[in-house]
Amino acid sequence: MRNISMSVIRRLPKYHRYLRDMINNGIDRTSSRELSDIMGFSASQIRQDFNHFGEFGQQGYGYNVRHLYDEISKIIGLNRSYSMIILGVGNIGTALSMYNFGNYGFELKAIFDNDVSKIGRNINGREIMSMSNLEKYVAKNPIDIALLCVPAKVAQGVADRLIISGVRSIWNFTSVDLVGPDNYIIENIHLVDSLMTMTYLLNEE
């Protein structure tokens, strides 16, 4: 079991975004009430969320925006860098290889595919490596996050290789619900599920 519930964890990036906007707008000081007004969570939920991690505010003063932002950045783990690899350079893999994930210290280290017509080609200044070199590469270069962008039918097989070779987490862009060991970190972006939620709602009206 994790100490902090996933619903709290998933709110942290949102606090981070709103506090960054406040800094950019020159706002020094805020309160759970004010954050509640702009974010749509209740003030008491916001105070509870922060209390899981420490005492960030002062009675009668509220929160120093910069301090709260820095603390939440640390809690999210943005005080260090993360090594990434991409598996599969179809449309989404190609896009992600060019995507700028903010200036948060994410370092794309290598890109793999098993299509011989792609291996050796350059993408955004990086050579596409053969998937057969995956284990050898990861043994020498510890990887925090693998972006899984391979076709659905090979997704679990590639995920198994990533897990066994010691890659610490998988950001899953395939349509497959991957299976891994307990507490192994798998985060899903199911684009088609998201789209089908919209089509349902479009027909409900």
Q: Which residues bind a second copy (CB under 8 A)?
A: 2-4, 9-10, 12-14, 16-17, 39-40, 75-78, 80, 82, 91-92, 94-96, 98-102, 104, 106, 144-145, 168-169, 171, 175, 177, 183, 185, 187, 189-205
Nearer to a second copy, 60 or 204 (CB): 204
What's the min distance (Å) between Cβ of 169 and a second copy? 5
C-alpha angle 66-25-10 in degrees, rounded to nearest 5? 60
| 12 contact partners, CB below 8 Å, separation of at least 6 | 49, 72, 75, 76
In angstroms, what CA-CA distances link 161 with 35, 140, 166, 176? 43, 15, 9, 16
87 in Cβ contact with 112 (< 8 Å): yes
Nearer to a second copy, 3 or 58 (CB): 3
Residue 86 β-bridge partners: 111, 147
What's the min distance (Å) between Cβ of 46 and a second copy? 15
What's the min distance (Å) between Cβ of 10 and a second copy? 6
Nearer to a second copy, 2 or 140 (CB): 2
Give the residue among 37, 29, 36 at the shortest CA–CA distance from 60: 29
What's the min distance (Å) between Cβ of 60 and a second copy? 29
